[in-house]
């Protein structure tokens, strides 16, 4: 295998996957925040409904 420009090819693949992973991380953290907010709003409505 011709190893010319291996370093930059590695940087290219690394950058592509890193951007994808970062985006997935933001999706996961947003998902967590949304679920938490839904849960707290639902319990707030339930509490007020009982009161």
Partner 1 sequence: MREKLIYVLATAASLLLARNLAMIFLHLPDEASQGMIYRIIFFHVPAWWTAMLGAIVALVASVLFLVKKDFRHDSLAVAATEVGLAFLTIGLVTGTIWARIIWGIWWTWDARLTSALICWILYGGYLILRRTVDEPTQRATLAAVYSIFAFVDVPIVWFSIRWWRTQHPQPVFGQGGFLEADMKSTLLWNFLAVGLIGVILLLIRLQQEENLREIDALRRETHAIS
Cα–Cα distance measured from residue 36 to residue 20, given in angstroms and rounded to the nearest whole number: 25
- 5 near partner 1, judged by CB under 8 A: yes
Reported as half-sphere exposure (CB side, CA atoms, 13 A), residue 14 has a value of 6
- 20 near partner 1, judged by CB under 8 A: yes
Rg of the chain on CA atoms, in Å: 22
- 50 near partner 1, judged by CB under 8 A: no
Interaction site with partner 1 (CB under 8 A): 1-6, 8-9, 11-13, 15-16, 19-20, 23-24, 27, 30-31, 34-35, 37-38, 41-42, 44-45, 48-49
């Amino acid at each position: 295998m011709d190893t010319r420009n291996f370093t930059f090819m590695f940087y290219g693949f690394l950058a592509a996957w890193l951007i994808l992973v970062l985006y997935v991380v933001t999706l996961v953290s947003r998902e967590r925040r949304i679920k938490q907010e839904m849960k707290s709003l639902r319990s707030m409505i339930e509490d007020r409904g009982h009161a």
